[in-house]
Amino acid sequence: MARKRAHVYVSGKVPGVFVRATTRDTAQEQGVDGWVKNLDDGRVEAVFEGDPEAVDAMVEFCYEGSEMASVSTVEVTEEEPEGIDGFEVRY
């Protein structure tokens, strides 16, 4: 099966509003591998790998984030999949 990888940066009111936990839970529901973390500049960074449709669904999710998030921009770069297994919140 072909895999797709998307590297995403999310800006807006995203730290401290459960974006990482919600992203992890949504990725696990979609069967997507990767990771998510907060950056010192206030953005959230994430990598999604897996079925192309599921990865696209995760990118779309980033435009909304968690229930309390207020997303202003989403930057997406497609990269070569690295074979990540599982999804984690990084600190």
Residue from 5, 20, 24, 43 carrying the catalytic annotation:
20
Which SS3 state, helix, strand or coil, does residue 58 take?
A: helix
| Distance (Å) of CA 8 to CA 1, 14, 22 | 22, 13, 15
- What angle, 0 to 180 degrees and rounded to 10, lies between the N-to-C axes of helices 19-30 and 52-62? 160
Annotated catalytic residue 5: no
Residue from 3, 5, 38, 90 carrying the catalytic annotation:
38
Annotated catalytic residue 38: yes
The residue among 81, 84, 34 whose CA lies nearest residue 62 is 34
What residues are annotated to the active site? 20, 38
